Amino acid sequence: MSERIVVKIGSSSLTSEEGGLNRGNIRFFVEELAALHEGGDAVMLVTSGAVAAGFRPIGYASRPKLVHEKQAAAAVGQALLMQAYQEAFSQYGIVSAQILLTRADFSDRKRIQNALMTIEELLKQRIIPIINENDTVATDELVLKFGDNDNLSALVAAMTKAAKLVIITDMDGLYTEDPRINPKAVKIERVDQISDDIRRLAGGAGSAVGTGGMRSKIEAARVATRGGVSTFIGKVSLAGELHMAVNGQGRGTYFDTKLHSLPMKKQWLGFHSMPKGCITVDDGAAAALLTGGKSLLPAGVIDSSGDFNPGDVVEVKSRQDEILGRGVVNYAAWQLQAAMGLGSEEVARRVEVVRIEVIHRDEWITLN
């Protein structure tokens, strides 16, 4: 049975520590991807490596630190990266396509819908989309954006309603401790729920050429599984191992999910939107939002911050400062300040709003 599969490959797997592309590794991964493609699966590749591939050819002695230098390296490296992929895929008669995305694309509902339509058409034509962050136009520090594209791969997997996300790394899964330091560390084979304990097991960045460590991969798994996509994080270095990873026999950790894929509207709300403020709610309101399927009423609000207007997205937190989810607010910030803690009838007398609910349940997504 054919499936939609997103495969993410990081910088450390594609380049050398000194910079520049490792074409042998690229040919290996392309052969693995081609096998999935030829088996009938719809394959999407999320790749890193543009900055690492470009800083040597541009003339830098080491990976640059300044943003404009990284962007220049990415501009050179992205062309080299795509050339290497296209040459390798052509050996199997496979056409590949380049798609460059930024966080701003995901934040804009129309732009990300257009990107999705493009990917859908490419998959329909049996073309492999190769997706990377558009580093050359990003305005933030490159190390602070998609986490070596781990988060990007999760967003792409959820957006395209993929069956599986495979994040390839140089570690064979998640361990109770760093196995490079403690040889008695135990590997965690399966994770049913990404708890705070699981998050604490993740360390920092793992290599000099990449920006993502296990922490960003765990966060990517959280986003993907919340969107209904089962996730594998582990090693693929031998022939046939990508097929094994996809089919539950890989060297790594599997993150399972029982959730269904989210509609685009909910995905945008939960993962792509930019919150304009924060609302803190009492325990009763938190329970109503998380398990009761209820809307948020003014009576349950105990605090708010930020400058928001009706139609903006806000985060909602518990008394314990835990993020519960996001929603589209029906109040301006000053209106909510006047209405919080009051019953619905009293609010109707004091504040002129279109809807009495602070956040309607249809405009809410739980992230807890």
**Quick one: pLDDT at residue 89?**
98
Q: Would strands 4-9 and 96-101 be described as parallel, antiparallel, or unpaired?
A: unpaired
Question: CATH number of the domain at 275-366, out of 3.40.50.1970, 2.40.37.10, 2.30.130.10, 3.20.20.80?
Answer: 2.30.130.10
Tell me what pLDDT residue 263 has. Answer: 86
Report helix, strand or coil for 134. coil
Determine the pLDDT at residue 131.
97
Look up tokens 């073309």; give the residue.
127
pLDDT under 50 in the chain at which residues? 141-144, 204-212
Q: 351-362 pLDDT, tens per residue?
A: 999 999 999 999
Place of tokens 């990300």: 112
Give ranges for CATH 2.30.130.10 in the chain: 275-366
Task: Name the residue type at position 343.
Answer: G
The alpha helices in the chain, defined as continuous H runs, are 11-14, 23-38, 50-58, 67-90, 103-107, 109-124, 150-159, 196-201, 214-226, 241-246, 264-267, 283-290, 333-339, 344-350
Give pLDDT, residue 27: 97
Residue 123's nearest CA partner among 42, 45, 229 is 42
Residues of the chain with CATH 3.40.1160.10: 4-265
Superfamily of domain 4-265: Acetylglutamate kinase-like (3.40.1160.10)
Please report the pLDDT score of residue 146 as a whole number. Answer: 58
